[in-house]
Structure 1
Amino acid sequence: MLGPLPPSLLFLLLAFQAVAAGASGEELGPVRLNGIWGESVTFSLVVPRGSRVDSIVWIAKSTIAIVEPGKEAPPLVIDQRYRERLRVPDGGYSLQIMDLSQEDTGTYTAQITTEGTTEPIFQRFALHVYKRLTESDINIVPGQDSVRTVNGTCNVTLNCSLLGGGEEVTYTWTQTAESSVVSSGASILISHRLRSGVSPVTCMARNPVSSSSKSISPQEVCEGFSSTGFPAGSSSPVTYCQVKGILLLVVLGALLTAIGMVHVLTRDKERLD
């Protein structure tokens, strides 16, 4: 079984692909790159050895810049969304985009024109921009109507998500006592015996550039719920029959009050007569 290619051999292989692409005008790639919000990414080109590059036109949804290698002048920025965010490191063949945002996600094509050839070389890059995750990005909440208590046991479904959403995010749950993954996915069902200790659970969120975690105590979620499934300190729910009886008493009370008032008014009138 063959091991990894030596760096020198890998470079020669890429250079050979670039020569082949230059001969046919076909695109090379795309090469996937992962970028981070607010940081920078560099598109590194592979140019056939011995070739002199006249110009490189960088294209995304539209032409964004034109670079003439070897010149000290900055790249000619065409798309103003990239103004003051592009640079060519050391005046070479690479292009660097700074202060990345989600809007920079997409496919970038370098159209390389070399001296003495009529067909340009195309190299493509697929850029994906992600946020570097922090604990404050993670939100853990009980599922709607998910907290249930039966015979002194609280069952609760916890949902883990990212505030503002995110692409290619995976979630895993661990529990301190077990120190191992207890569930994979955004949700977990926890059964907690009321008035007994239980270790916190931790949700870890990962995307292709970072990971972060946040913990929560099932005991805190279940706190305030009694074994009957209603908030501690409260009575059992009022039934329909009880509500009906109360309303009937109110109506009867109002009716008796009205009769009493009519009787008093009639008696007073008779006295005056």
Structure 2
Amino acid sequence: MDVFWIPFLATLMVLHQTMSASDTTEVIGVLGRFVTFRSHNTDKSAAFWNFGNEPILVVGFEDPPQPVFSKDKFQTRFAVSEKGRVLTISQLRMEDAGTYSVIIDGKRSTFTLQVFRELAEPTVTCEAQNCSDGSCSFSLRCSAPGAGLGNVSYSWRVRDQPRDGDSVVLRVNESSLEELEPLTCMARNPVSSRSITVTTPGVLCSGESWGQVGNSGMG
């Protein structure tokens, strides 16, 4: 351990006993992008940034800031600005999720980071079909593949009108498969949204080629 970190860690122990409580800010990040934590503390004192119980860096109240990192692994993707009051993490990874804090003159600001992947294009499959006497009922399932997506919600619409609320499965009853209008499924997670339109839902359940897709993103 660098000689600098011995007094630094001792200082952190003292600060932990004397620092005032603060609210926690929830922050959502996108895998591969960047995220910024901002302290509004204006005291002209050094800033101590931590990830959980692990120190990241210390930086004096100066411009430009000259951070001293606890470990080499933090130097490549972590940077400070505004005299140490702002911490930016670039090229976000899933393992960056967790609790970050900055201590300035005994006052702590805390940030809880969640990291999610952006959604890929969803897929629609025919889950079940039953046709008799010229009438058909069937179920369509919409799903967005991948891990680290967080809570994914689904909704369906015909043209611009919502259909059957929010559900991963849409149940349809029609007198004729050929009469069905195009159906659109929208998948959303905390950082993105993607949609796909089934131009001929009846043909989908017949196992033939189909489809026209459209995508949209959320910042």
TM-score, structure 1 as length reference: 0.61
Match status 1:65 vs 2:46: no
> Residues 140-197 of structure 1, C-alpha deviation per residue, up to 9 Å, x if partnerless?
2222xx2222223332211222211421222111012xx2111212111122444623
Q: Give the root-mean-square deviation of aligned CA atoms.
A: 2.8
> Residues 194-250 of structure 1, C-alpha deviation per residue, up to 9 Å, x if partnerless?
46231121111122232221112312222269xxxxxxxxxxxxxxxxxxxxxxxxx
Rounded to whole Å, the distance in 2 between the matches of 1:93 and 1:65 is 12
Find 2:134's aligned residue among 144, 152, 157: 152
What SS is found at the alignment partner of 2:203? helix
- Over the matched positions of the two proteins, sequence identity in percent amounts to 25
Match status 1:199 vs 2:181: yes
> Residues 99-145 of structure 1, C-alpha deviation per residue, up to 9 Å, x if partnerless?
11222222111122x3xxxxx211101112223335x2x122222xx
Residue matched to 1:127:
113
Residue matched to 1:47:
41
Q: After superposition, where does 1:46-195 map in structure 2 within 5 Å?
A: 46-48=40-42, 51-60=43-52, 62-70=54-62, 72=64, 75-112=67-104, 114=105, 120-134=106-120, 136=121, 138-143=122-127, 146-165=128-147, 166-176=149-159, 179-183=160-164, 184-194=166-176
Residue matched to 1:237:
none
Which amino acid is the alignment partner of residue 160 of structure 1? C
Structure with more strand by fraction: 2
> Residues 33-72 of structure 1, C-alpha deviation per residue, up to 9 Å, x if partnerless?
1211211111100214xx3212323233522333333154
Rounded to whole Å, the distance in 2 between the matches of 1:36 and 1:191 is 39
Contact 2:186 2:196 in 1 (8 A): yes
- Runs of 5+ unmatched residues, structure 2: 1-15, 209-219
Alpha-carbon spacing, 1:171–1:61, altered in 2? closer, same or farther (3 Å): farther
Residue matched to 1:25:
19
Alpha-carbon spacing, 1:192–1:76, altered in 2? closer, same or farther (3 Å): farther
Contact 1:62 1:79 in 2 (8 A): no
Contact 1:65 1:77 in 2 (8 A): yes
Q: What is the number of residues matched between the two proteins?
A: 191
Rounded to whole Å, the distance in 2 between the matches of 1:76 and 1:202 is 52
Contact 1:59 1:65 in 2 (8 A): no
Structure with more helix by fraction: 1
Relative contact order, higher structure (CA 8 A, sep 6+): 2
- Runs of 5+ unmatched residues, structure 1: 1-21, 115-119, 226-273
